[in-house]
Amino acid sequence: MPSFSTSTTVLDSILFRDAFGTPEMREVFSDFSLICRYAEVEIALARAEARCGVIPAEAAEQIAARTDVAAFDFDLLRRETDIVGYPILPLVHQMTKQCGEAGRYVHWGATTQDIMDTAVVLQLRAGLEIIERDIAALRGILADLSKRYRDTPMAGRTHLQQALPVTFGYKTAIYLAMFDRHAERLEQLKPRLLVGQFAGAAGTLASLGDRGFEVQQALCEELGLGVPVSTWHVARDGFAEAVNFLALVTGSLGKIALDIMIMASTEFAELYEPFVKGRGASSTMPQKRNPISSELMLAASKAVRQHAGLMLDAMVQDLERATGPWHAEWMAIPESFVLTAGALNQAKFALAGLVVDEKRMAANLDISRGLIVAEAVMMGLAPEIGRQEAHDVVYDACRLANEKGMTLADALSADPRVTLRIDRATIDRLTSPQNYLGLAPAMVDRVLAALKR
């Protein structure tokens, strides 16, 4: 059998892993990286306790110098973890053996969850750095699109029907504003999330007597983390907020993906994902150019949404140490980060090389023969004949245009209630969709000016 035969999910599949994730984010949440984080926290704890005079300084030095994760017996670690139910005691066994006499001070005063939670915080910090970088890159791409297509008219659609004209830059500026807010949310999230966990068996730091707070602060300083105000063994709002933040990010990506897929459909044909030979090809239909990146973005948004719900459920924990809810986080957190990184990667590819057909947008805008700007005509006539009569006149003209296949301008020109008050040039101006973009271009400018880029 090939070496990859044990892969079971899209996240580690030899076929799908780079469609749904990225190598960089997978490495952050890999088994080896996680075990290294466990050891990193144990070493930092020893150093912190040595600083505070709780254990000998020489012991901390030996623990730091002699711990070698690469030399661990991983089969033994797996077997013992399966027996114990948690990986920290098996890890401590091997660290103790490696560190000789100093090994007696490994894990001094800590509890399993202290090490595991703090290690996950270190993973989240690294993962969020990647997410932050990708969001910044995506904001740059969206800002460029918004500038380039600020004045490109197209049909705005509500309930999948043409409604009023907008510009394509207006559409992408709405996307940009979402990700501006995500960048702000991420910055606000960090102080709440990136704090250490060290509180002992029941969260009271009883094993360290009056040195508990001192050691806790020293540990957090060693790791560059914030100091918790209180024990959070069963207060999981930080981790839940992190995954729900990812759900917001992928939810926005899902919205963009759905727009792209609809607008790339044959009947719309207004834009396409970048052309790469063979990408999106059908096994039976040579003409197909499927929106693959958008499909993957949409799928990721649905999966991360499910994990967000799981994290909210996992907040309901029993007493001073959780049973099953804590374990649910072990599934939801890594998968959510990998899926989000994959979706952002697909978005950067799709949007950076987006093919925009401005001529087709203009053609689709004219498909209603001017009916899309019936509101503009009504508002133009209202000062002359009153709003209600203007509504009735335009309503009648729209029915005539639909029944006879006429343009709205021709239908209006056939009505003396209109021609007695405005000339044909005014009718043509009022029925031109390009003249009824409202403040769409100005809204693009406001989004671009809202935050430093």
Catalytic residue among 5, 182, 233, 282, which?
282
Looking up tokens 């499910």 gives: 306
Residue 116 to residues 89, 122, 329, Cα–Cα distance (Å): 11, 10, 11
233 an active-site residue? no
309-317: long-range contacts, CB 8 A cutoff, minimum separation 24: 311/236, 311/239, 311/240, 311/243, 311/244, 312/240, 312/244, 314/236, 314/239, 314/240, 315/236, 315/237, 315/240, 317/234, 317/236
Closest CA to 246 of 1, 15, 6, 29: 29
Tokens of 82: 């399966």
Residues listed for the chain: 453
Tokens of 20: 């749904």
- DSSP readout, 337-379? HHHHHHHHHHHHHHHHT-EE-HHHHHHHHTTTTTGGGHHHHHH
DSSP H or E stretch at residue 322: none
159 an active-site residue? yes
The 8-class DSSP code of residue 422 comes to S
Tokens of 290: 């499927």
Give the sign of the dihedral formed by CA 398, CA 404, CA 409, CA 415. Answer: negative
Catalytic residue among 3, 5, 159, 283, which?
159
| β strands within 65-194, DSSP E | 153-158, 161-167
CB 257 within 8 A of CB 295: yes
Which residues are tagged catalytic? 159, 282
